[in-house]
Amino acid sequence: MYQSDITQFLNKLKADKPSLEEEQRKGRALLWDKQPIDLEERAEQRASRVAQTPYSYYQNF
């Protein structure tokens, strides 16, 4: 059965480093998988923000 060069490379890589998929899952969890947003906390954060002037360097004019 034919296997492309890339398929052969990936199979060899997985055989040489069996922990690769677990490391990929940990990296994804670290960067992409986020906790659900608490809407009440988000509303409190928005309410507690201080409004910024359009041009903050010249507030006294």
**Average confidence (pLDDT) over 48-55:** 83
Tell me if 11 is assigned to some domain.
yes
Domain that holds residue 38: 5-48
CA distance 17 to 10: 10
List, for residues 9-25, the tens digit of each pLDDT value. Answer: 999 999 999 999 999 99
Q: How far apart are CA 39 and CA 43, in angstroms?
A: 6
Q: Is the pLDDT of residue 28 over 60?
A: yes
**Within a domain: residue 31?**
yes
For residue 28, give both structure tokens. Answer: 């994804």
pTM: 0.48
Is the pLDDT at 51 greater than 70, yes or no?
yes
How far is the C-alpha of 54 from the C-alpha of 61, rounded, in Å? 12
- Predicted confidence at residue 35, as pLDDT, reads 85
58 lies in a domain? no
